[in-house]
Amino acid sequence: MTLPALTGIAPETLADWLSAAGEPPFRAAQILEWVWKKKAASYDAMSNLPEALRRKLAAAYRLSALQHAATQGAADTTRKFLFRLQDGRYVESVLIPANPALYGEKSDRHTLCVSSQVGCAYGCKFCASGLAGFTRNLDAGEIAGQVIAAEQLSGERVDNLVFMGMGEPLANLDHLLAAIALITGKETLHLGARHLTVSTSGLVPQIRRLAEHPQQIRLAISLHGATDEVRQRIMPVNRKWPLAELFQALDFWNQRKNQKLTLEYILIDNVNDSLEQAAILARHARRLRAKVNLIPYNIVQGLDWTRPSDTRCRAFREVLVKAGVTATLRLEKGHDIDAACGQLRLKRETGEGIVPAAM
Ligand code: SF4
């Protein structure tokens, strides 16, 4: 029998379990502190709990939902962690140091890119995660557990979370919201909701539902095309929810939330990088009061698109900036390990060699 992981257990559930086990209520705070603040690596480390309680806990809950399988990257660069789940599947999380251009050379801030599903059903044409299709949703313990595991492995504090790893987070909204409650909860990780960004390919009903959620979570939209015709070539989801419907949902979001939307736009050579697309994108961004992140395409094994020249990327951004839109463009190359979410997992599941696990 697979035990539930403690990283997915809400404080109220833990309190109920302690009460049923005949334990005093104050033990809940101690256990939560070991899991979320001290990030205990074993039950034995929980030194202020009686041994009998540790044994009962171990019989009821796994401490972690994830087993570290591999790391790529070094401490001062982007690091990608591969985790093995209980059922033998793999997911990845990517720890990204702060951009010195934005935060200064000495900044030690870190952003963690978290996965929400094993594989993905949405099949965006630029994405390694979509290549092998959808396997299953992650549960709250597997989602929130990525933050604890990344902090344990790196020794760093995660300051920002982006749900941009493997999977479409809004297709797993119930588990995502349960994980967010644990990540933001006072008794658990206690990271501010404003430091969380959910990225979606554009699931309209779920965007509306998240807009009604009381916390000020940020939203990023994988747009990648400024017209239906272009976007449909890249993102099959656009057939179900075309731009007009998506933008209505984003208007609703803007009415409910006091957060600037982000439009993500991967620049693909001769697919979506024309200056006409830039001009239309600028109109959308202005109307939605959104900022735009331009990301030159990185090669994905098995896909044959290419990256536009730096000159073309700059010209695209220039159109946006001239129209008064805040637009960022990251041109540095050599980001082979964060090239595309899902690649590390695909290599592991297809048996290609990767580096062994290293703390
Ligand atoms: S970009 Fe996101 S939604 Fe699209 S296939 Fe990849 S993981 Fe799925």
Q: Which residue has the tokens 């594989």?
A: 119
pLDDT at 74: 73
Centre of ligand 1 from the C-alpha of residue 98, in Å:
24
Residue whose Cα lies nearest atom 7 of ligand 1: it is 167
| Contacts of residue 174, Cβ cutoff 8 Å, sequence gap at least 6 | none
For residues 345 and 351, give the distance between their C-alpha atoms in angstroms, rounded to a whole number: 10
Compute the chain's Rg from CA coordinates.
Answer: 21
What is the per-residue pLDDT for 307?
A: 92
Cβ atoms 273, 316 nearer than 8 A: yes
Ligand 1 mutation pick, 94, 137, 201, max ligand atoms within 8 A of CB: 201
Hey, which of 114, 135, 168, 223 would you mutate to test ligand 1's pocket, going by the most ligand atoms within 8 Å of its Cβ? 168
Tens digits of pLDDT across the chain (359 residues)? 789 999 999 999 999 999 999 999 999 999 999 999 999 999 999 999 999 999 999 999 999 999 999 999 877 778 999 999 999 999 999 998 876 555 555 567 899 999 999 999 999 988 877 777 899 999 999 999 999 999 999 999 999 999 999 999 999 999 999 999 999 999 999 999 999 999 999 999 999 999 999 999 999 999 999 999 999 999 999 999 999 999 999 999 999 998 899 999 999 999 999 999 999 999 999 999 999 999 998 877 777 789 999 999 999 999 999 999 999 998 764 444 444 444 445 555 544 433 333 33
Q: Describe the crossing of helices 204-212 and 173-184 by its angle, rounded to 10 degrees.
A: 30
Atom 4 in ligand 1: residue holding the nearest Cα: 124
Of residues 113, 124, 127, 341, which has the active-site annotation? 341
CATH number of 6-60: 1.10.150.530
The residues near 245 (Cβ < 8 Å, ≥ 6 apart) are: 204
User: Given 23, 92, 142, 168, which residue is catalytic?
Assistant: 92
Distance separating alpha carbons of residues 250 and 1, to the nearest angstrom: 43
Distance from Cα 52 to the centre of ligand 1, integer Å: 45
CATH 1.10.150.530 occupies which residues in the chain? 6-60
Active site residue 341: yes
Report the nearest atom of ligand 1 relative to the CA of 199.
2
Measure the CA–CA gap between 125 and 103, rounded to whole angstroms.
33
Q: For a pocket test of ligand 1, which of 93, 125, 127 has the largest count of ligand atoms closer than 8 A to its C-beta? A: 127
* Gap from CA of 338 to ligand 1 centroid (Å): 15
92 labelled catalytic: yes
Distance of CA 311 to the CA centre of its chain: 30
Residues present in the chain in total: 359
Q: Which residues line ligand 1 (CB under 6 A)?
A: 120, 122-124, 127, 129-130, 166-168, 201, 222
Q: At what angle do helices 204-212 and 243-256 cross, to 10 degrees?
A: 0
The strand pair at 134-137 and 110-113 is best described as unpaired
* Closest to 283 in 3D by CA, of 226, 201, 220, 219: 226
pTM, entire model: 0.91
Instruction: Render 311-330 in DSSP notation, one character per residue.
Output: HHHHHHHHHHHHTT--EEE-
Range(s) for CATH 3.20.20.70 in the chain? Answer: 67-349
What atom of ligand 1 comes closest to residue 200's alpha carbon? 3
CA-closest candidate to residue 7, choices 175, 258, 232: 175
Residue 96 tokens, joined: 């990204």
- 104: Cβ contacts below 8 Å, ≥ 6 apart: none
- The rounded Cα 100 to chain-centroid distance in angstroms is 21
The domain defined by 67-349 folds into TIM Barrel (3.20.20)
